[in-house]
């Protein structure tokens, strides 16, 4: 059923393509099955904070507030939803329910700062009969026709921040379990969508890339090598909806701020005690160490808290380049990303030493050596962190299984998640 408008408030291998001069470039992890239109609400989502210094306090969280979601069930010329009434009930619960829903997840992880709410009085619209085929998975055409049919019913792009298109999987046979624009507002999900896929794809809408891992054997950050493996500590890295967002992702959305984030600026040294990232209580829940040039290392303790991180625990670190927290990589010194007492991370004149780890706490020592006593051999001038043979703005690693993501120009970016049953891996 259509929903009435309400007043405006606000992976196999990767390939990339540009459709026409007017089309928006897309980035797909998995098989490229179509190009994406400019996303609804594009530009409203958080950016990648290019050039931001780690010590700068973000403003009001760009991922915060009421985010209006238009959920649209659609049929194709070559296939229709089998049980629209039942699916409508399922989708209402999956997107807006009190437990294990999109809204419940992001309310919890943002500590109430973000709310995903229906864009109209009816939470789910449709089914809308699109005059296009599902075969071929032309998500661009699906989005265009969905917007047109919604507009005919008085629901324009001004009435929602996110458009989530739910289609009959058996008609389309797409090689992905979810698709979303990065930093835009559009997502495409099959009618057998899982909570993991839903949370993951809306993470892309918030500007988050896939969470990947960098091999930093010995802890020398300037010798790190991007592996393409997933991090596993976030739904953006295969951790599913039971995992909270990682510290860099929380930083990007503006949900890790104030006293919860300890900062070691350019010349700061000292020992920092950390509490679980998603836990309660006073004190620092993450540490960001500035390395210069917008580069930093973010460290976090993960332990079960607030219904999150049931399968994630330990001390982890991430490298951030150019202030782009949304594309941070997990640092793996040889233990799958876990850090242990005595482990060190070094970059130029900065050394980080793990002093202590426990079930729900850790202590990290930050030392800054004089320029002529650097703890490691100096490399060529740069951002303080190793490159991986390519500009990080044009080449990104896959988080969902090998390969690389190749960008084609500027504009909204679209990620597809390869189908692996009901769970993202």
The pLDDT of residue 415: 53
Q: Measure the CA–CA gap between 309 and 134, rounded to whole angstroms.
A: 37
Q: In 18-171, where do the E strands start and end?
A: 26-29, 65-75, 114-118, 124-129, 162-167
CB 205 within 8 A of CB 162: yes
371-400 burial code (b ≥16 CB/10 A, e <16): eeebbbeeeeeebbbbebeeebeebbbbbb
What pLDDT does residue 61 have? 62
Q: So what's the pLDDT on residue 281?
A: 87
Q: Taking the mean position of all CA atoms in its chain, how far away is CA 92? A: 23
pLDDT at 3: 37
CA 262 remoteness from chain centre: 22
Q: DSSP character for 371?
A: G
Q: Taking a C-beta distance cutoff of 8 angstroms, is the pair 243, 307 a contact? A: no
In the block, tokens 């009434």 appear at 85
pLDDT of residue 373: 55
Cα separation, 65 vs 319, whole angstroms:
28
Q: Greatest CA separation found in the chain?
A: 71
Domains assigned to the chain? 14-209+400-418 (3.40.390), 213-396 (no CATH)
The C-alpha atoms of residue 224 and residue 123 are separated, in whole angstroms, by 46
pTM of the model: 0.78
Radius of gyration in angstroms for the set of CA atoms belonging to the chain, rounded to a whole number: 21
Question: Which pLDDT value is given to residue 18?
Answer: 28
Q: For residue 285, give every residue at least 6 positions away whose Cβ sits within 8 Å of its Cβ, in sequence order, or none.
A: 256, 260, 261, 274, 275, 276, 277, 278, 279, 300, 301
Which are the contacts of 142, defined by CB distance < 8 A and separation ≥ 6? Answer: 74, 130, 132, 165, 167, 188
Of 369, 367, 343, 368, residue with least CA distance to 355: 343
CA distance 360 to 386: 31
Half-sphere exposure in the Cβ direction for 157 (13 Å, CA): 15
The closest of 173, 184, 191 to 72, measured between CA atoms, is 191
Q: Looking at 14-76, list the stretches that DSSP marks H as alpha helix, in order from N- to C-terminal side.
A: none
| pLDDT at residue 414, as a whole number | 54
The upper half-sphere exposure of residue 147, i.e. CA atoms within 13 Å in the direction of its Cβ, equals 23
State the pLDDT at residue 267.
83
pLDDT at 231: 92
Profile the chain (425 residues) by mean pLDDT over runs of 10 residues: 34 28 31 28 29 36 86 97 97 96 97 95 95 96 98 95 97 92 95 96 96 94 91 95 97 94 91 96 94 92 95 96 95 93 94 94 92 46 32 26 27 50 34
**Predicted pLDDT of residue 68:** 97
């Amino acid at each position: 059923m259509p929903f009435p408008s309400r007043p405006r408030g606000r992976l196999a291998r990767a390939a990339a393509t540009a459709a026409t001069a007017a089309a928006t470039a897309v980035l797909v992890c998995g098989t490229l099955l179509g190009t994406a239109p400019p996303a609804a609400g594009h530009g409203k989502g958080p950016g990648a904070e290019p050039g931001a210094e780690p010590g700068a306090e973000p403003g009001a969280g760009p991922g915060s507030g009421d985010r209006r979601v238009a959920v649209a069930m659609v049929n194709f010329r070559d296939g229709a939803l089998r049980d629209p009434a039942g699916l409508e009930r399922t989708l209402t619960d999956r997107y807006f329910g009190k437990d294990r829903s999109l809204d419940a997840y992001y309310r919890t992880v943002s500590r109430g700062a973000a709310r995903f709410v229906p864009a109209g009085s009816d939470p789910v619209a449709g089914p809308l009969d699109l005059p296009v085929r599902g075969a071929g998975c032309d998500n661009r055409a699906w989005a265009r026709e969905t917007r047109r049919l919604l507009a005919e019913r008085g629901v324009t792009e001004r009435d929602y921040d996110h458009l989530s298109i739910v289609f009959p999987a058996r008609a389309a046979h797409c090689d992905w379990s979810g698709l979303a624009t990065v930093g835009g507002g559009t997502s495409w999900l099959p009618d057998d969508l899982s909570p993991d896929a839903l949370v993951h794809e809306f993470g892309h809408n918030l500007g988050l890339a896939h969470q990947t891992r960098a091999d930093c054997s010995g802890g020398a950050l300037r010798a790190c090598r991007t592996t393409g493996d997933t991090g596993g500590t976030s739904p953006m890295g295969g951790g599913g909806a039971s995992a909270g967002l990682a510290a860099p992702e929380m930083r990007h959305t503006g949900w890790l701020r104030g006293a919860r984030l300890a900062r070691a600026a350019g010349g700061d040294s000292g020992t920092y005690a950390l509490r679980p990232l998603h836990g309660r209580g006073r004190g620092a829940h993450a540490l960001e160490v500035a390395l210069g040039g917008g580069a930093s290392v973010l460290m976090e303790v993960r332990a079960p808290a607030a219904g999150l991180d049931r399968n994630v625990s330990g001390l982890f670190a991430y490298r951030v380049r150019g202030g782009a927290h949304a594309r941070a990589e997990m640092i793996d010194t040889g233990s799958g990303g876990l850090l242990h007492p005595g482990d060190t991370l070094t970059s130029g004149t900065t050394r980080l030493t793990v002093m202590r780890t426990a079930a729900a706490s850790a202590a990290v020592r930050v030392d800054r050596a004089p320029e002529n006593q650097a703890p490691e051999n100096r490399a060529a001038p740069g951002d303080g962190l190793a490159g991986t043979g390519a500009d990080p703005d044009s080449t990104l690693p896959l988080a969902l299984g090998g390969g690389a993501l190749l960008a084609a120009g500027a504009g909204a970016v679209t990620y597809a998640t390869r189908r692996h049953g009901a769970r993202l891996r």
